[in-house]
Amino acid sequence: MNEETASKAPTALILFGPPGSGKGTQAKLLREALQVPHISTGDMLRERIALGDPLGRQVQGLMQAGRLVPDEVANRLVDERIARPDCASGFILDGYPRTIPQAEVLGRRLEEYGFEMVVIHLKVDYTIIIKRIAGRRQCPVCGTLYSLNSNPPKSENVCDHDGATLVIREDDQEDVIRERLEAYDRQTRPLLEFFAGAGFSPREVDAGLDGPEAILARIGGLLGKG
Ligand code: ADP
């Protein structure tokens, strides 16, 4: 490691974009490439649902309706997670922040911990998103995402890694997808201006038509230049 890299602040890499823009897929690839934790609020909330406690049931109802969970819930999950020692040299955030109050809480925390914030905006057309989410399948055990069109499992409906039967997420039904896109437009998209105003202009990546590896290379190029 040269001196320049050694003295650089650890990076909080924020993957930003509408539902189905490939944040989860890219986060998993980047985790391998950068060797830093991948923090997905969606996955953490699904773990909470699996516990079946009152908070889990509240989260489940909101998620199935395509709505966001309360900011305090998302903030608490992330706050606890990024305080853990494995995040000290940086981490990838997928699905957080999703509202301005979440971004404010995160911004304060990153400043306190001395992290640099880098925002990557995965841009994808909504017509592509709706098609893409309809073909999405997930392994309920390890969380790996597959796409029936562009990235199918080796054998039909079975996870390549652990042989579990793949599932369709309940919030991936078409009417719920539309609700999620609306929630994105209303609550999340305004963050693009918020980040820019705070001095963290999102770096744009065309994430529409190409496969995950090509998009990963684009992100790598932006990070290299950054
Ligand atoms: P996607 O990005 O494809 O919508 P996620 O797994 O990131 O998928 O999120 C699924 C759902 O989890 C969201 O629709 C929302 O209900 C909830 N959720 C995830 N992250 C947050 C967050 N930061 N704030 C509020 N709700 C969240």
What pTM does this model have?
Answer: 0.88
What amino acid is encoded at 176 in this protein? V
**Cα gap 105→113, rounded to integer Å:** 13
* Closest of 160, 136, 145 to residue 26, by C-alpha: 145
Q: What is the pLDDT of residues 141-164, one digit of tens each?
A: 998 989 898 889 999 999 999 999
Rounded average pLDDT over 186-200: 97
* Closest of 89, 72, 73 to residue 10, by C-alpha: 89
Tell me which of 133 and 98 has the higher pLDDT.
Answer: 98
Strands (E), 29-108: 38-40, 91-94
Q: Retrieve residue 65's tokens.
A: 């309706």
**Cα gap 195→190, rounded to integer Å:** 9
CATH label, 3-125+186-222, candidates 3.50.50.60, 3.40.630.30, 3.40.50.300, 3.40.50.620 = 3.40.50.300
**Cα gap 145→20, rounded to integer Å:** 11
From the candidates 48, 81, 180, 218, which is the catalytic residue? Answer: 180
3-state secondary structure of 97: coil
Q: How far is the CA of 141 from the centre of ligand 1 (A)?
A: 19
**Cα gap 110→107, rounded to integer Å:** 5
67 is catalytic: no
From the candidates 81, 136, 137, 218, which is the catalytic residue? Answer: 136
From the candidates 98, 132, 137, 218, which is the catalytic residue? Answer: 98
Q: How far is the CA of 210 from the centre of ligand 1 (A)?
A: 24
Report which ligand 1 atom has the smallest distance to the Cα of 41.
20
Q: How far is the CA of 20 from the centre of ligand 1 (A)?
A: 11
Q: Kind of pairing, strands 145-147 and 136-138? A: antiparallel
With b meaning 16 or more CB within 10 Å and e meaning fewer, what string describes 40-61?
bbbbbbbebbeeeeeebeebbe
Rounded average pLDDT over 39-60: 95
Residues whose CB is less than 8 angstroms from the CB of residue 28 and which lie 6 or more positions away in sequence, other chains included: 38, 144, 145
The reported pLDDT for the residue numbered 150 is 81
Q: What is the pLDDT of residues 64-82, one digit of tens each?
A: 999 999 999 999 999 999 9
Q: Domain spans of the chain?
A: 3-125+186-222
**Cα gap 226→221, rounded to integer Å:** 9
